[in-house]
Structure 1
Amino acid sequence: MILYFSGTGNSEYVAKRIAEETDDGIVNLFEKIRNHDFSKLHSDCPWVIVSPTYAWRIPRILQQWLEKTAFSGNSGIYYVMTCGGSIGNSGKYLRKLSASKHMKDLGCFSIVMPENYIAMFSTPEKEAALHTIHQAEAAIDKASHMIKNGKPFPHQTLTLTDKINSSIVNSIFYPMFVHAKKFYAKDTCISCGKCADVCPMHNIRLENGKPVWGKDCTHCMACISRCPREAIEYGKHSEGKPRYTCPIKINR
Protein backbone atom coordinates (compact mmCIF):
# COMPACT_ATOMS: atom_id res chain seq x y z
CA MET A 1 0.00 0.00 0.00
CA ILE A 2 1.22 3.48 -0.89
CA LEU A 3 0.77 6.22 1.70
CA TYR A 4 1.58 9.82 0.85
CA PHE A 5 1.64 13.29 2.34
CA SER A 6 1.86 16.28 0.02
CA GLY A 7 1.57 20.05 0.44
CA THR A 8 1.97 21.31 -3.12
CA GLY A 9 1.48 18.13 -5.14
CA ASN A 10 4.99 16.81 -5.87
CA SER A 11 4.76 13.81 -3.56
CA GLU A 12 1.16 13.22 -4.65
CA TYR A 13 2.26 13.02 -8.27
CA VAL A 14 5.10 10.59 -7.49
CA ALA A 15 2.85 8.43 -5.29
CA LYS A 16 0.20 8.16 -8.00
CA ARG A 17 2.79 7.35 -10.65
CA ILE A 18 4.17 4.56 -8.46
CA ALA A 19 0.62 3.31 -7.85
CA GLU A 20 0.05 3.17 -11.61
CA GLU A 21 3.25 1.20 -12.19
CA THR A 22 2.80 -1.21 -9.28
CA ASP A 23 -1.00 -1.52 -9.42
CA ASP A 24 -1.07 -1.01 -5.66
CA GLY A 25 -3.57 0.77 -3.42
CA ILE A 26 -2.94 4.36 -2.45
CA VAL A 27 -3.97 6.55 0.52
CA ASN A 28 -3.67 10.32 0.91
CA LEU A 29 -2.68 10.89 4.54
CA PHE A 30 -3.89 14.51 4.67
CA GLU A 31 -7.14 13.85 6.53
CA LYS A 32 -5.58 11.22 8.79
CA ILE A 33 -2.84 13.61 9.88
CA ARG A 34 -5.22 16.58 10.13
CA ASN A 35 -7.73 14.62 12.25
CA HIS A 36 -5.15 12.73 14.34
CA ASP A 37 -6.48 9.46 12.97
CA PHE A 38 -4.05 6.73 14.04
CA SER A 39 -6.34 3.76 13.33
CA LYS A 40 -4.59 0.57 12.24
CA LEU A 41 -3.92 -0.01 8.54
CA HIS A 42 -3.42 -3.34 6.77
CA SER A 43 -1.60 -4.26 3.57
CA ASP A 44 -0.55 -7.55 2.06
CA CYS A 45 2.00 -5.73 -0.11
CA PRO A 46 5.04 -3.84 1.22
CA TRP A 47 4.34 -0.35 2.51
CA VAL A 48 5.53 2.61 0.46
CA ILE A 49 5.75 5.99 2.19
CA VAL A 50 5.99 8.91 -0.25
CA SER A 51 6.99 12.14 1.42
CA PRO A 52 8.43 15.58 0.77
CA THR A 53 11.78 16.50 2.29
CA TYR A 54 11.76 19.11 5.06
CA ALA A 55 15.26 20.16 6.13
CA TRP A 56 16.79 16.89 4.88
CA ARG A 57 14.34 14.57 6.71
CA ILE A 58 10.68 13.61 6.38
CA PRO A 59 8.24 16.17 7.87
CA ARG A 60 7.92 15.86 11.62
CA ILE A 61 4.13 15.68 11.43
CA LEU A 62 4.46 12.64 9.14
CA GLN A 63 7.11 11.09 11.40
CA GLN A 64 4.78 11.47 14.39
CA TRP A 65 1.84 9.97 12.50
CA LEU A 66 3.93 6.98 11.40
CA GLU A 67 5.17 6.42 14.95
CA LYS A 68 1.62 6.34 16.34
CA THR A 69 -0.08 4.26 13.62
CA ALA A 70 -0.06 0.45 13.68
CA PHE A 71 0.58 -1.40 10.42
CA SER A 72 -0.45 -5.02 9.97
CA GLY A 73 0.19 -7.54 7.21
CA ASN A 74 3.39 -7.09 5.24
CA SER A 75 6.34 -5.95 7.38
CA GLY A 76 8.44 -4.46 4.58
CA ILE A 77 8.56 -0.68 4.18
CA TYR A 78 9.99 1.56 1.44
CA TYR A 79 10.47 5.33 1.67
CA VAL A 80 10.36 7.57 -1.41
CA MET A 81 11.25 11.22 -0.80
CA THR A 82 10.73 14.11 -3.17
CA CYS A 83 13.17 16.99 -2.86
CA GLY A 84 14.45 20.11 -4.56
CA GLY A 85 18.04 18.92 -4.38
CA SER A 86 19.02 16.45 -1.66
CA ILE A 87 17.48 14.30 1.08
CA GLY A 88 20.70 14.35 3.10
CA ASN A 89 21.08 11.47 5.51
CA SER A 90 17.34 10.83 5.85
CA GLY A 91 17.84 7.10 5.47
CA LYS A 92 19.57 6.84 8.85
CA TYR A 93 16.53 8.22 10.67
CA LEU A 94 14.08 6.22 8.60
CA ARG A 95 15.91 3.01 9.46
CA LYS A 96 15.49 3.91 13.13
CA LEU A 97 11.80 4.55 12.54
CA SER A 98 11.38 1.19 10.80
CA ALA A 99 13.18 -0.61 13.61
CA SER A 100 10.98 1.08 16.24
CA LYS A 101 7.93 -0.33 14.42
CA HIS A 102 9.55 -3.78 14.02
CA MET A 103 9.39 -3.44 10.24
CA LYS A 104 11.90 -4.45 7.58
CA ASP A 105 13.46 -1.29 6.13
CA LEU A 106 13.72 -1.64 2.35
CA GLY A 107 15.55 1.63 1.80
CA CYS A 108 15.07 5.27 0.94
CA PHE A 109 14.91 6.65 -2.61
CA SER A 110 15.19 10.33 -3.57
CA ILE A 111 13.40 11.91 -6.52
CA VAL A 112 14.24 15.48 -7.50
CA MET A 113 11.09 17.46 -8.26
CA PRO A 114 10.46 21.21 -8.82
CA GLU A 115 11.41 23.47 -5.92
CA ASN A 116 8.33 24.41 -3.87
CA TYR A 117 9.76 25.99 -0.70
CA ILE A 118 8.83 29.57 -1.52
CA ALA A 119 9.64 30.68 2.05
CA MET A 120 13.34 30.33 1.29
CA PHE A 121 13.98 29.53 -2.39
CA SER A 122 12.81 30.60 -5.83
CA THR A 123 9.98 28.56 -7.31
CA PRO A 124 9.87 27.72 -11.04
CA GLU A 125 7.58 28.90 -13.79
CA LYS A 126 5.39 26.18 -15.32
CA GLU A 127 7.68 25.36 -18.25
CA ALA A 128 10.72 24.89 -16.02
CA ALA A 129 8.66 22.80 -13.59
CA LEU A 130 7.47 20.51 -16.38
CA HIS A 131 11.07 20.04 -17.52
CA THR A 132 12.13 18.98 -14.02
CA ILE A 133 9.22 16.56 -13.76
CA HIS A 134 10.09 15.09 -17.16
CA GLN A 135 13.64 14.49 -15.91
CA ALA A 136 12.25 12.82 -12.78
CA GLU A 137 10.26 10.21 -14.70
CA ALA A 138 13.22 7.82 -15.08
CA ALA A 139 13.83 7.86 -11.32
CA ILE A 140 10.12 7.28 -10.63
CA ASP A 141 10.13 4.32 -13.01
CA LYS A 142 13.27 2.91 -11.38
CA ALA A 143 11.80 3.14 -7.89
CA SER A 144 8.51 1.63 -9.09
CA HIS A 145 10.30 -1.27 -10.77
CA MET A 146 12.23 -2.14 -7.60
CA ILE A 147 9.09 -1.91 -5.48
CA LYS A 148 7.10 -4.09 -7.91
CA ASN A 149 9.86 -6.72 -7.88
CA GLY A 150 10.42 -6.62 -4.13
CA LYS A 151 14.00 -5.38 -4.42
CA PRO A 152 15.43 -3.10 -1.73
CA PHE A 153 16.52 0.38 -2.75
CA PRO A 154 20.29 0.84 -3.14
CA HIS A 155 22.22 2.51 -0.33
CA GLN A 156 22.89 6.23 -0.69
CA THR A 157 26.37 7.67 -1.07
CA LEU A 158 26.67 10.12 1.79
CA THR A 159 28.83 13.17 2.36
CA LEU A 160 29.72 14.91 5.61
CA THR A 161 27.37 17.71 4.55
CA ASP A 162 24.51 15.22 4.21
CA LYS A 163 25.11 13.99 7.75
CA ILE A 164 25.31 17.50 9.19
CA ASN A 165 22.20 18.71 7.32
CA SER A 166 20.00 15.87 8.55
CA SER A 167 21.20 16.13 12.14
CA ILE A 168 22.47 19.50 13.37
CA VAL A 169 20.88 21.70 10.72
CA ASN A 170 17.51 19.92 10.95
CA SER A 171 17.49 20.34 14.74
CA ILE A 172 18.24 24.06 14.45
CA PHE A 173 16.04 24.73 11.42
CA TYR A 174 12.71 23.70 12.92
CA PRO A 175 12.64 25.95 16.00
CA MET A 176 14.23 28.89 14.18
CA PHE A 177 12.39 28.90 10.85
CA VAL A 178 9.31 26.65 10.93
CA HIS A 179 6.65 29.06 12.12
CA ALA A 180 3.81 31.07 10.59
CA LYS A 181 4.85 34.53 11.81
CA LYS A 182 5.65 35.85 8.32
CA PHE A 183 2.45 34.74 6.57
CA TYR A 184 -0.09 37.44 5.83
CA ALA A 185 -2.95 38.04 3.41
CA LYS A 186 -3.11 41.03 1.06
CA ASP A 187 -6.20 43.05 0.26
CA THR A 188 -6.76 40.83 -2.80
CA CYS A 189 -7.93 38.06 -0.44
CA ILE A 190 -11.50 37.03 -1.32
CA SER A 191 -12.24 35.27 2.00
CA CYS A 192 -12.75 31.91 0.27
CA GLY A 193 -11.20 29.91 3.13
CA LYS A 194 -9.13 27.74 0.80
CA CYS A 195 -6.02 28.33 2.92
CA ALA A 196 -7.76 26.97 6.02
CA ASP A 197 -9.09 23.97 4.09
CA VAL A 198 -5.65 22.90 2.82
CA CYS A 199 -3.79 23.34 6.12
CA PRO A 200 -2.93 19.89 7.54
CA MET A 201 -2.48 21.38 11.01
CA HIS A 202 -5.84 23.18 11.44
CA ASN A 203 -3.58 26.21 11.94
CA ILE A 204 -5.50 28.79 9.90
CA ARG A 205 -8.82 30.42 10.75
CA LEU A 206 -10.72 33.30 9.20
CA GLU A 207 -11.28 36.42 11.27
CA ASN A 208 -13.34 39.20 9.66
CA GLY A 209 -12.92 37.36 6.39
CA LYS A 210 -9.11 37.26 6.49
CA PRO A 211 -6.86 34.30 7.38
CA VAL A 212 -5.07 34.31 10.71
CA TRP A 213 -2.25 31.85 11.37
CA GLY A 214 -1.68 30.09 14.68
CA LYS A 215 1.52 28.61 16.10
CA ASP A 216 1.15 25.09 14.68
CA CYS A 217 2.77 25.48 11.24
CA THR A 218 4.73 22.77 9.44
CA HIS A 219 5.80 24.92 6.45
CA CYS A 220 4.15 22.68 3.86
CA MET A 221 3.43 25.86 1.82
CA ALA A 222 -0.05 24.60 0.90
CA CYS A 223 -1.77 27.82 1.96
CA ILE A 224 0.44 30.22 0.00
CA SER A 225 0.72 27.92 -3.02
CA ARG A 226 -2.95 26.99 -3.35
CA CYS A 227 -4.51 30.41 -2.78
CA PRO A 228 -6.62 31.05 -5.92
CA ARG A 229 -5.79 34.77 -5.90
CA GLU A 230 -2.13 34.54 -4.84
CA ALA A 231 -3.15 36.81 -1.99
CA ILE A 232 -0.86 35.24 0.63
CA GLU A 233 2.73 36.33 1.12
CA TYR A 234 5.58 35.05 3.29
CA GLY A 235 7.23 38.27 4.38
CA LYS A 236 9.00 39.89 1.45
CA HIS A 237 10.63 36.70 0.23
CA SER A 238 7.62 35.43 -1.72
CA GLU A 239 6.83 38.75 -3.42
CA GLY A 240 6.86 38.43 -7.19
CA LYS A 241 7.60 34.71 -7.14
CA PRO A 242 5.38 32.21 -8.97
CA ARG A 243 3.21 30.05 -6.73
CA TYR A 244 4.02 26.40 -7.27
CA THR A 245 1.71 23.42 -7.32
CA CYS A 246 2.47 20.35 -9.38
CA PRO A 247 1.28 21.19 -12.90
CA ILE A 248 0.49 17.57 -13.81
CA LYS A 249 -2.54 15.93 -12.24
CA ILE A 250 -3.24 12.22 -12.11
CA ASN A 251 -6.76 11.07 -11.29
CA ARG A 252 -6.64 7.99 -9.11
Structure 2
Amino acid sequence: MVLYFSGTGNSKHLTDIIADKTKQPLYYLNDAIKKGEHSEISQNETLIFVTPIYGWRIPSIVEEWIHENNNLNGQKVYFVMTCGGGIGNAGKCTKRLCSDKNLQYLGWRGACTHCMTCICACPVSAIEYGDISKGKRRYHCPN
Protein backbone atom coordinates (compact mmCIF):
# COMPACT_ATOMS: atom_id res chain seq x y z
CA MET A 1 0.00 0.00 0.00
CA VAL A 2 1.21 3.51 -0.83
CA LEU A 3 0.19 6.02 1.83
CA TYR A 4 0.78 9.59 0.73
CA PHE A 5 0.50 13.16 1.94
CA SER A 6 0.81 15.99 -0.55
CA GLY A 7 0.50 19.73 -0.09
CA THR A 8 1.47 21.06 -3.50
CA GLY A 9 1.09 17.97 -5.68
CA ASN A 10 4.76 16.96 -5.91
CA SER A 11 4.37 13.98 -3.59
CA LYS A 12 1.11 13.02 -5.33
CA HIS A 13 2.92 13.02 -8.68
CA LEU A 14 5.63 10.73 -7.29
CA THR A 15 2.97 8.54 -5.66
CA ASP A 16 1.25 8.06 -9.02
CA ILE A 17 4.53 6.91 -10.56
CA ILE A 18 5.25 4.50 -7.70
CA ALA A 19 1.71 3.11 -7.72
CA ASP A 20 1.81 2.63 -11.49
CA LYS A 21 5.07 0.72 -11.28
CA THR A 22 4.27 -1.33 -8.16
CA LYS A 23 0.49 -1.81 -8.70
CA GLN A 24 -0.12 -1.01 -5.02
CA PRO A 25 -3.35 0.54 -3.73
CA LEU A 26 -3.28 4.20 -2.66
CA TYR A 27 -4.27 5.70 0.68
CA TYR A 28 -4.64 9.49 0.80
CA LEU A 29 -3.35 10.64 4.18
CA ASN A 30 -4.61 14.22 3.78
CA ASP A 31 -8.24 13.05 3.96
CA ALA A 32 -7.56 10.42 6.63
CA ILE A 33 -5.88 13.01 8.86
CA LYS A 34 -8.73 15.53 8.40
CA LYS A 35 -11.35 12.87 9.26
CA GLY A 36 -9.32 11.30 12.08
CA GLU A 37 -9.41 7.93 10.31
CA HIS A 38 -6.86 5.16 10.52
CA SER A 39 -6.61 2.60 7.77
CA GLU A 40 -7.04 -1.11 8.15
CA ILE A 41 -3.56 -2.38 7.40
CA SER A 42 -2.53 -6.01 7.33
CA GLN A 43 0.41 -7.08 9.46
CA ASN A 44 1.92 -8.74 6.37
CA GLU A 45 1.67 -5.63 4.22
CA THR A 46 4.72 -3.64 3.10
CA LEU A 47 3.96 0.08 3.28
CA ILE A 48 5.39 2.94 1.26
CA PHE A 49 4.93 6.39 2.82
CA VAL A 50 5.35 9.28 0.38
CA THR A 51 5.58 12.71 1.98
CA PRO A 52 7.16 16.09 1.40
CA ILE A 53 9.82 17.44 3.71
CA TYR A 54 8.77 20.40 5.84
CA GLY A 55 11.54 21.93 7.94
CA TRP A 56 13.85 18.98 7.21
CA ARG A 57 11.34 16.43 8.59
CA ILE A 58 8.21 14.68 7.45
CA PRO A 59 5.11 16.80 8.23
CA SER A 60 4.29 16.69 11.93
CA ILE A 61 0.65 15.77 11.21
CA VAL A 62 1.84 12.70 9.27
CA GLU A 63 4.17 11.73 12.10
CA GLU A 64 1.32 12.14 14.62
CA TRP A 65 -1.02 10.05 12.42
CA ILE A 66 1.55 7.25 12.32
CA HIS A 67 2.06 7.44 16.11
CA GLU A 68 -1.69 7.33 16.78
CA ASN A 69 -2.47 4.53 14.31
CA ASN A 70 -2.88 1.30 16.29
CA ASN A 71 -3.03 -0.69 13.04
CA LEU A 72 0.67 0.04 12.49
CA ASN A 73 2.80 -2.52 14.28
CA GLY A 74 5.47 -4.71 12.77
CA GLN A 75 4.95 -3.87 9.10
CA LYS A 76 7.85 -3.31 6.72
CA VAL A 77 7.95 0.35 5.66
CA TYR A 78 9.69 2.58 3.16
CA PHE A 79 9.69 6.38 3.30
CA VAL A 80 9.94 8.27 0.02
CA MET A 81 10.41 11.98 0.60
CA THR A 82 10.13 14.88 -1.81
CA CYS A 83 12.13 18.01 -1.14
CA GLY A 84 13.67 21.04 -2.76
CA GLY A 85 17.20 20.67 -1.45
CA GLY A 86 17.85 18.13 1.26
CA ILE A 87 16.03 15.97 3.77
CA GLY A 88 17.92 17.25 6.82
CA ASN A 89 17.09 15.06 9.83
CA ALA A 90 14.12 13.36 8.17
CA GLY A 91 15.95 10.04 7.76
CA LYS A 92 16.96 9.93 11.41
CA CYS A 93 13.47 10.98 12.53
CA THR A 94 11.69 8.35 10.42
CA LYS A 95 14.02 5.64 11.73
CA ARG A 96 13.23 6.70 15.30
CA LEU A 97 9.50 6.78 14.46
CA CYS A 98 9.74 3.25 13.08
CA SER A 99 11.54 2.08 16.20
CA ASP A 100 8.88 3.67 18.44
CA LYS A 101 6.08 1.99 16.45
CA ASN A 102 7.84 -1.39 16.04
CA LEU A 103 7.90 -0.92 12.27
CA GLN A 104 10.61 -2.51 10.14
CA TYR A 105 12.39 0.40 8.46
CA LEU A 106 13.54 -0.66 5.00
CA GLY A 107 16.43 1.25 3.60
CA TRP A 108 20.11 1.68 4.06
CA ARG A 109 21.47 1.05 7.52
CA GLY A 110 23.27 4.37 7.61
CA ALA A 111 23.07 7.69 5.86
CA CYS A 112 22.65 7.85 2.12
CA THR A 113 26.03 7.75 0.42
CA HIS A 114 24.69 8.63 -3.05
CA CYS A 115 25.87 5.26 -4.32
CA MET A 116 22.95 5.17 -6.80
CA THR A 117 22.03 1.57 -5.90
CA CYS A 118 18.40 2.49 -5.24
CA ILE A 119 18.18 3.98 -8.74
CA CYS A 120 20.21 1.42 -10.67
CA ALA A 121 18.86 -1.66 -8.90
CA CYS A 122 15.16 -0.73 -8.87
CA PRO A 123 13.58 -3.55 -10.91
CA VAL A 124 10.84 -1.29 -12.30
CA SER A 125 12.80 1.98 -12.69
CA ALA A 126 10.43 3.74 -10.29
CA ILE A 127 13.19 5.84 -8.69
CA GLU A 128 14.77 8.79 -10.49
CA TYR A 129 17.48 11.28 -9.62
CA GLY A 130 15.50 14.35 -10.63
CA ASP A 131 15.55 14.67 -14.41
CA ILE A 132 19.15 13.50 -14.66
CA SER A 133 18.40 9.76 -14.72
CA LYS A 134 15.00 9.94 -16.41
CA GLY A 135 14.87 7.76 -19.51
CA LYS A 136 18.48 6.65 -19.17
CA ARG A 137 19.75 3.10 -19.02
CA ARG A 138 20.40 1.72 -15.54
CA TYR A 139 23.97 0.59 -15.05
CA HIS A 140 24.76 -2.86 -13.72
CA CYS A 141 28.27 -4.28 -13.63
CA PRO A 142 28.41 -7.03 -16.26
CA ASN A 143 30.35 -9.38 -13.96
Measure, in 2, the Cα distance between the counterparts of 1:134 and 1:105: 24
Aligned to 1:23: 23
- Structure 2 residue matching 1:50: 3-state secondary structure: strand
TM-score (norm. length: structure 2): 0.71
Q: Partner amino acid for 2:56?
A: W
Q: 1:3 aligns to what SS in structure 2?
A: strand
Root-mean-square deviation (CA, aligned residues, Å) is 2.7
Offset, 1:134? 6.4
SS in 2 for 1:41: coil
Aligned to 2:94: 94
1:35-70 Cα distance to aligned partner (Å, 9 max, x none): 111354236441000000000000001100011113
- In the TM superposition, what is the alpha-carbon distance from 1:84 to its structure 2 partner? 0.7
Structure 2 vs 1, CA of residues 31 and 52 (structure 1 numbering), >3 Å: closer, same or farther?
A: same
TM-superposed CA distance for 1:88, in Å, is 1.0
Taking every aligned residue pair, what percent have the same amino acid on both sides?
A: 35
Q: Does 1:135 align with 2:120?
A: no
- Aligned partners of 2:40 and 2:71 also within 8 Å: yes
Shift in alpha-carbon separation, 1:73–1:16, aligned structure 2, 3 A: farther
Structure-2 change in CA distance of 1:16 and 1:9 (3 Å): same
Instruction: Give 1:38-53 correspondences, 5 Å limit.
Output: 38-42=38-42, 44-53=44-53
Larger helix percent: 1
Shift of 1:136: 6.9
Using the TM superposition, give the Cα deviation of residue 89 of structure 1 relative to its aligned residue in structure 2, in angstroms: 2.2
Q: Does the Cα contact within 8 Å between 2:3 and 2:47 map onto a contact in 1? A: yes
Higher strand share: 1
How far apart are 1:27 and its partner, in Å? 1.0
Instruction: Note closer, same or farther for the CA distance 1:29–1:102 as it changes in structure 2 (3 Å cut).
Output: same
Determine the structure 2 residue equivalent to 1:128. none
2:117: which partner in 1?
A: none
Q: What SS class does the counterpart of residue 54 from structure 2 fall into?
A: coil
Q: Identify unmatched segments of 5+ residues in structure 2.
A: 113-128, 139-143
Q: Which has the larger radius of gyration?
A: 1
For these two proteins, the number of residue pairs brought into alignment is: 117
